[in-house]
């Protein structure tokens, strides 16, 4: 074995009731890590999958060196059902590997997303520097691109007033959309995020781009007072439905709400649960890949920008 490799042992047909004792056996045999392949369902497409109880499951066990024969003999003593396969795999700096494939690209209009460790190309007029770390949002996902289009178009249609507007980005991730909105001319921008690591990354990205006026507070949506001229939410549709009441609460009369993250196959369900009877007017609907996005506006006696 080279210093640059490790061994992965895939165990199959591990009885569920032996999981704890098998895990203990793995570590006592020199394993450096154990992962379990869980079976789950996610009927509501929220972030809360339901684990399915099964009689047996698969486990991956990681060893710095080829495990001793006694490890496998011990497994057989616990259960003759357990099968295994051994793989020697190369150690890699996975973050460095990922960075190799992340290149500058045009997001919308004159705005480009530039990895923070690279220089922008000559044709880039406005650079949004991103170091995603472990947070979601490099700008390459279809939902992010639809949202970028909505923000850019909304600003374009309301150039005379956007500098007085305030915008709330719900689930800001890396803050890429919050930064786009600010650089595009929105007066006041706030990004909220439930994941502490994503909040840290968002604040770093805001700093890298010298956009410290963007507020990334500790607040959760239920703590936000509002109201906001624009509410942005690029979140999976099941979650959008769950937080509808708060999204509506923080939106100004006549304000704009931009919603992406709706799976095309769930569009009818989303429309029924979120938009029907809400009083919101659909300004524009987009489709990209398997995703749908909505730009909607709340009722007002004096509608703007449509």
Distance CA 92, CA 82 (A): 29
Rounded Cα gap, residues 114 and 157, in angstroms: 26
Q: How many CB atoms lie within 10 A of CB 187?
A: 15
User: Token pair of 147, please?
Assistant: 């949202």
pLDDT at residue 304, rounded to an integer: 44
Residue 1, pLDDT score: 46
Which regions of 96-224 does DSSP assign to beta strands (E)? 105-108, 111-115, 126-130, 166-170, 188-192
Rg of the chain on CA atoms, in Å = 24
Note the pLDDT of residue 49.
53
End-to-end Cα, the chain, rounded Å? 65
Rounded CA gap, 61 and 300, in Å?
A: 59
3-state class of 22 per DSSP?
A: helix
10-residue mean pLDDT profile of the chain (306 residues): values are 80 91 94 80 52 78 94 95 92 72 90 93 95 75 95 97 98 96 98 94 96 96 94 95 96 97 95 96 96 95 46
* Predicted local confidence at residue 39, as pLDDT: 61
- Res 277: pLDDT: 94
**For residues 111 and 184, what is the distance between their CA atoms, to the nearest angstrom?**
9
The reported pLDDT for the residue numbered 303 is: 46
Cβ pair 84, 75 in contact under 8 A: yes
**Exposed/middle/buried for residue 146 (C-beta within 10 Å: 0-12, 13-18, 19+):** buried
Q: What is the pLDDT of residue 295?
A: 98
Q: Which domains does the chain have, with CATH numbers?
A: 5-91 (3.30.70.120), 144-297 (3.40.50.150)
Cα angle 204, 205, 210 (rounded to 5 degrees) comes to 95
Q: CA nearest 233: which of 161, 304, 294?
A: 294
What residues contact 171, with CB distance under 8 A and at least 6 apart?
192, 193, 194, 233, 234, 235
Distance CA 32, CA 45 (A): 33
C-beta separation of 305 from 154 below 8 A: yes
What pairs with residue 87 in β-bridges? 8
pLDDT at 56: 85
What is the signed CA dihedral for 115, 121, 127, 128, rounded to 10 degrees? -20
Total count of residues recorded for the chain: 306
């Amino acid at each position: 074995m080279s210093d640059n490799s490790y061994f992965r042992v895939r165990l199959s047909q591990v009885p569920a009731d032996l999981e704890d004792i098998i895990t203990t056996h793995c570590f006592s045999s020199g394993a450096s890590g154990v992962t379990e392949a869980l079976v789950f369902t996610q009927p509501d497409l929220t972030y809360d999958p339901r684990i399915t109880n099964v009689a047996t499951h698969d486990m991956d066990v990681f060893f710095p060196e080829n495990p001793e024969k006694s490890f496998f003999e011990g497994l057989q003593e616990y259960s003759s059902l357990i099968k295994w396969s051994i793989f020697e795999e190369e150690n890699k700096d996975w973050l460095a590997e990922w960075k190799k494939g992340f290149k500058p690209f045009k997001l919308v209009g004159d705005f480009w997303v530039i990895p923070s460790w690279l220089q922008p190309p000559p044709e880039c007029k406005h650079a949004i520097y991103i170091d995603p770390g472990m947070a979601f949002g490099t700008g390459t996902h279809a939902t992010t691109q639809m949202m970028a289009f909505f923000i850019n178009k909304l600003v374009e249609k309301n150039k005379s007033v956007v500098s007085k507007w305030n915008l709330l980005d719900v689930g800001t991730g890396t803050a890429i959309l919050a930064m786009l909105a600010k650089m595009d001319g929105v007066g006041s921008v706030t990004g909220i995020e439930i994941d502490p690591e994503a909040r840290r990354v968002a604040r770093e990205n805001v700093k890298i781009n010298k956009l410290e006026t963007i507020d990334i507070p500790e607040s959760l949506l239920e703590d936000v007072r509002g109201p906001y001229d624009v509410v942005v939410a690029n979140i999976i549709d099941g979650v959008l439905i769950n937080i509808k009441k708060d999204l509506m609460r923080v939106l100004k009369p006549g304000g704009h709400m931009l919603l992406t993250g709706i799976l095309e196959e769930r569009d009818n369900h989303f429309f029924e649960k979120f938009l029907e009877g809400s009083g919101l007017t659909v300004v524009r609907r987009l489709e990209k890949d398997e995703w749908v996005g909505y730009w909607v506006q709340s009722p007002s006696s004096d509608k703007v920008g449509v």
